[in-house]
Amino acid sequence: MLDSHHHLWSYSPNEYPWIPQASALQKDYLIPELESAAQTAGLTGTIAVQARQSIQETRWLLDLADSSPLIQAIVGWLPLASPTLEASLEQLAPHPKLKGARHVLQDEPESFFDDPAFNRGLTLLPSHHLTYDLLIYQNQLPAAIRLVDRHPHLSFIIDHLAKPEIHRSLIEPAWLAGITELAKRENITGIKFSGLATECRDPEIDEPSLRNYFHETLRLFGPHRLMYGSDWPVSLLRLPDYLTWSEMAKRIAGDLTQNERAAFLSGNAARIYNL
């Protein structure tokens, strides 16, 4: 198993103001905690994704990856809208474990998707062999479609199925309409079945509802673009531990063929991120 999406941090309320007070996230999640989770779930590799918008964090994540063979790739934050981007790319892009960039678009107004400086920054990523992780809510799907269409040569990867509003057994029509359009774009090279526990609006997580989203995404994107991810430790806001999600995801993917299952659990992420 290869986890295509998790986070690491040395907790500080000033550095991570988005972390809820009195939650399980208010502690350090570093290499020992990751290795413990990986051992319980049988992970053979992981991809660590930025958790704060800081070039210092990207450097720190790369240093952690250098110290741990378990971390096979980093999706870091880069100053995409800044004139200093070229200098940052020259310095960091040669690192063999930096595979992608992400900006927290879910917190931005719709106008940011059309920002000239941000879009200029995205145009520089392909020449450095970097992908872009698209972190959005379902209501931002129309803006995301415009963004993806502006950059046909950039490989986009959708995080957390574009964060649908999950209600028991229902597929959100707005999510389905937008994600159907995105699935038609060839430069959407991957989509992560991750981070969904925290998008459940019901008091209890309904596994059949998640299975419905899994199969709808599989139908639209095919078995060659769908990949497993955990969003650990953020997932601990709704789940007791890492293993609960990994076992649930494997059950949900239980009716895939052997080859499709291997692609979902590890092969697609390894190929899409060029590991």
Per-residue pLDDT of the chain (275 residues; tens, 9 = 90+): 999 999 999 999 999 999 999 999 999 999 999 999 999 999 999 999 999 999 999 999 999 999 999 999 999 999 999 999 999 999 999 999 999 999 999 999 999 999 999 999 999 999 999 999 999 999 999 999 999 999 999 999 999 999 999 988 789 999 999 999 999 999 999 999 999 999 998 888 999 999 999 999 999 999 999 999 999 999 999 999 999 999 999 999 999 999 999 999 999 999 999 99
**Cis ω on the peptide bond leading into residue 164 (within 30° of 0)?**
no
The phi and psi torsions of 138 (rounded to 5 degrees) equal: -60, -30
Report which residue type is found at 159.
Answer: D
- Containing domain of residue 250, as a range? 2-272
pTM for the model: 0.96
CATH number of the domain to which 9 belongs = 3.20.20.140
Residue labelled with tokens 């991120």: 273
Q: Residue 46: enclosing H or E segment and its boundaries?
A: strand 45-49
Total structural domains within the chain = 1
- Alpha-carbon distance 64 to 24, whole Å? 22
CB 192 within 8 A of CB 235: no
CB count, 10 Å around CB of 30? 14
Helices (H), 103-194: 116-124, 141-150, 173-183
- Alpha-carbon distance 33 to 29, whole Å? 6
- Alpha-carbon distance 164 to 67, whole Å? 35
CB 59 within 8 A of CB 19: no
Question: Encoding tokens for residue 162?
Answer: 């574009």
